[in-house]
Amino acid sequence: PIALVNSVNPFRLEGQKTAAYEICEALDNNAPHYHALPVGNAGNITAYWKGFKEWKAAGKSSRLPKMLGFQAAGAAPLVTGIREEHPETVATAIRIGNPASWEGAISARDESGGLIESVTDEEILEAYRMVASLEGVFSEPACVAPVAGLRKLAARGYFTEPATVTVTLTGHGLKDPDTAISQALSSPIALSATYDAVLKALDL
């Protein structure tokens, strides 16, 4: 049988929540003070919040994180409170005008004392280039929306004291190769499909 494992499928959310367990395990069994995620269909923020709550309920963590969700400005129905019929953003994975897990995302935001805000395409692409150049991580544009968002929050003084802040990068750059090509500092080099051609191009 074939099952649709989308953001309203309970089995998907049950699986996704375990990523929150892994974050806590990496932090000596405690939750971060803040956890940031991109928000499209909103399954991630819903599932992660459930995972963090379960970890604390099991007595393994002494705190819960504030959940920080970020949408693209051209597809930000959770920020505006209005469903978007024609969402548009370079961040294709979060180009969603009516999130399937709308209520779950709002609950995660409100229960955790966090927020859901938007970032522009320009801010997303700046974060996209920064993550690649500083960390060597090839990500898709949508998944660096929280990186762009955290930079905005930090610039306006949102973080007033030392804190552990974690971010989930949700998608590999090969999901959106066109953006990678358009953001490259130089054009791709076309070669014949031979070993010698590759060596010559690399000056080897």
Average pLDDT over residues 161-181: 93
Reduced 3-state DSSP string for the chain: CCCCCCCCCHHHHHHHCHHHHHHHHHCCCCCCCEEEEECCCCHHHHHHHHHHHHHHHCCCCCCCCEEEEEEECCECHHHHCCCCCCCCCCCHHHCCCCCCCHHHHHHHHHHHCCEEEEECHHHHHHHHHHHHHHHCCCECCHHHHHHHHHHHHHHCCCCCCCCCEEECCCCEHHHCHHHHHHHCCCCCCCCCCCHHHHHHHCCC
Number of compact structural domains in the chain: 1
pLDDT of residue 202 exceeding 70, the answer is yes
Per-residue pLDDT, 7:
72
Residue 71: pLDDT band with limits 50, 70, 90: very high
Per-residue pLDDT, 185:
66
- CATH of residue 170: 3.40.50.1100
- 18 occurs within a structural domain: yes
- 1 occurs within a structural domain: no
> What predicted TM-score, i.e. pTM, was given to this entire model?
0.88
- 132 occurs within a structural domain: yes
Per-residue pLDDT, 4:
72
- 4 occurs within a structural domain: no
Per-residue pLDDT, 183:
84
Average pLDDT over residues 3-17: 82
Residue 3: pLDDT band with limits 50, 70, 90: confident
Please write the tens of the pLDDT for every residue from 116-147. 999 999 999 999 999 999 999 999 999 999 99
